[in-house]
């Protein structure tokens, strides 16, 4: 079995430290006894269905609750971490940090350390991230136009025994 970072893994109760970096989740421990170093460092071969799974993972990342809100807040221009945190009501520091790291890793955001005292960090959407603006704007428009219909459907559903 191969985990998301290309290391051959086996299901186990233990978890490999190098797998913690991927999406903040625990993945099975790598089977170091049966894999050669070349197998762990060479690009993994993608079996059938892997592309669909990786596409789904990317979709999960960019369409998550905080990712959409972060990108919406950054549409008007770059923001420092605390400005972004204040703009997103209800986000915890941990959730925001994890979201920003995922988006930076995917090339959707850039992180710039500003030479101030104390040191501050600024986030900005990349050109790749700007390509998501039209689909996200379409989703936002859909929610505005169909919000009342969704509310009615929810009320009907909740009223049925």
Return the pLDDT at 157: 95
Task: Average the pLDDT over 136-152 and give the result.
Answer: 92
Pick from 93, 88, 80: which is nearest to 120 by CA? Answer: 80
Domain ranges of the chain: 1-45, 60-159
Task: Average the pLDDT over 7-17 and give the result.
Answer: 41
Q: Using the predicted structure, report yes or no on whether residue 153 has a pLDDT greater than 90.
A: yes
Six-digit token string for 73: 């807040």
| pLDDT band, very low/low/confident/very high, at 150 (cuts 50, 70, 90) | very high
Q: Using the predicted structure, report yes or no on whether residue 145 has a pLDDT greater than 80.
A: yes
| pLDDT band, very low/low/confident/very high, at 131 (cuts 50, 70, 90) | very high
Q: Using the predicted structure, report yes or no on whether residue 6 has a pLDDT greater than 60.
A: no
Task: Average the pLDDT over 112-136 and give the result.
Answer: 92
Residues contacting residue 129 through CB under 8 Å, at least 6 positions apart? 71, 103, 107, 108, 109
First to last CA, the chain: 45
Q: Is the pTM of this model over 0.85?
A: no
pLDDT tens digits for range 39-89: 445 555 556 566 777 788 888 878 788 998 999 899 889 999 999 999 998
Higher pLDDT, 112 or 37: 112
Give the number of other CB atoms < 10 A from CB of residue 84: 21
Distance CA 41, CA 98 (A): 26
Return the pLDDT at 27: 40
For the beta sheet containing 79-80, the strands, ordered from the edge strand earlier in sequence to the opposite edge, are: 79-80, 120-125, 109-114
Angle at 113 between CA 111 and CA 117, to 5 degrees: 150
CATH number of 60-159: 1.10.10.10
Return the pLDDT at 96: 95
Backbone phi, psi, residue 2, to 5°: -115, 130
């Amino acid at each position: 079995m191969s985990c998301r970072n290309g290391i051959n893994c086996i299901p186990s109760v233990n978890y490999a430290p190098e797998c913690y970096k991927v999406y903040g989740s625990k993945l099975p421990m790598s089977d170091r006894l049966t894999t050669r170093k070349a197998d762990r460092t060479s690009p993994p071969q993608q079996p059938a269905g892997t592309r669909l799974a990786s596409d789904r993972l990317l979709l999960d990342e960019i369409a998550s609750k905080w990712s959409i809100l972060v990108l919406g807040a950054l549409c008007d221009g770059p923001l420092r971490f605390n400005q972004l945190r204040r703009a997103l009501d209800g986000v915890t520091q941990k959730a925001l940090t994890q979201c920003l790291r995922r988006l930076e890793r995917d090339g959707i955001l850039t992180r710039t350390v500003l030479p101030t005292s104390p040191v501050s960090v600024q986030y900005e959407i990349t050109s790749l991230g700007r390509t998501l603006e039209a689909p996200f704007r379409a989703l936002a428009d859909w929610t505005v136009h169909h919000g009342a219909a969704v509310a009615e459907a929810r009320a009907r559903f909740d009223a049925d025994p």
